[in-house]
Amino acid sequence: MKRFGTALTIVTTALLAVGFVVRVMARASDTGSLSGTVHFQGKAPDLRPIVMDKDRVCANAQTGTVLAEDGRVNANGTLPNAFVYISKAAGSNLSTTAPSNSVTLTQKGCTFVPHVLGIMAGQPLQVVTEDPTTHNIHINATKGNRDWNVSQQPGTPSITTRFSQPAIMVPVRCNIHPWMEAYIGVVNNPYYAVTGDDGSFLIKDVPPGDYTLSVWTATFGTQERSVVVRAGEPARVDFTFTGQ
């Protein structure tokens, strides 16, 4: 009887596993993906050194010269900090309810980490400090979003805010440390990405459709491209920005 029970368990487990794989395959083939690389051609700009002497706590937190993020080019000739997002959807509505999980912006070594981030309108933005000095987060009023200006003392809990409207891009600064800067892309669909140290992006689970894919950079401008996403297929879109 025990043997029969074990065999039944194995058969049941196998059937469940097959069912799971079939479900995953069905879901994967319903959607496509968007991927590509944001390239850079020309001479990379000289990055501005940041002097943090105004606050000894900040200066002491750094071991070497800190350079501004804006204008940075990766070693492989691509761009980090590019915000890539679906800006238009022909004949379909990609808008979904904002997720309840929060996106985090951290103040660390008197810089904002990450420098560029994306969030959906209505989704919570959690602002965290890891620094033993006071910061003042100032999110500038942009495209229907209210101005938000809050101080955060060392060791205090995170502070949460939300954006009511999509906006490309919302600048964030610290009123105490003028070199601190971040940019937030507020969108009304979950199909966005920020490039990192290899300049690539991947946006998964995109419903099939005709879209405009846009890319924003702080220094080199913006571009957009039409793209068709088909079920079960990866669509590739590369962008190239040029320097002087």
Footprint on this chain of Cu ion (rule: CB under 5 A): 135, 174, 176-177, 180
Please say which residue, 50 or 180, places its beta carbon nearer to Cu ion.
180
Q: Is 127 exposed, middle or buried (0-12, 13-18, 19+ CB in 10 A)?
A: buried
Please say which residue, 115 or 135, places its beta carbon nearer to Cu ion.
135
Please say which residue, 52 or 120, places its beta carbon nearer to Cu ion.
52
Least distance CB 220 / Cu ion (angstroms): 27
Please say which residue, 72 or 135, places its beta carbon nearer to Cu ion.
135
- Cis before 114? omega within 30: yes
Least distance CB 201 / Cu ion (angstroms): 29
Type and span of the H or E element at 172: strand 167-174
Least distance CB 67 / Cu ion (angstroms): 18
Please say which residue, 82 or 184, places its beta carbon nearer to Cu ion.
184
Are 81 and 38 in contact, with CB atoms under 8 Å apart?
A: no
Please say which residue, 72 or 177, places its beta carbon nearer to Cu ion.
177
Looking from the CA of 3 toward its CB, the CA atoms found within 13 Å total 0
R_g over Cα of the chain: 22
Least distance CB 63 / Cu ion (angstroms): 19
Q: Compute, in degrees rounded to 10, the torsion defined by CA atoms 227, 211, 121, 223.
A: 50
Cβ-closest position to Cu ion: 174
CA–CA separation, 189 and 93 (whole Å): 9
Least distance CB 197 / Cu ion (angstroms): 25
Are 121 and 165 in contact, with CB atoms under 8 Å apart?
A: yes
CA–CA separation, 127 and 50 (whole Å): 22
Q: Which residue from 205, 182, 179, 181 is spatially nearest to 192, judged by alpha carbons? A: 205
Least distance CB 184 / Cu ion (angstroms): 17
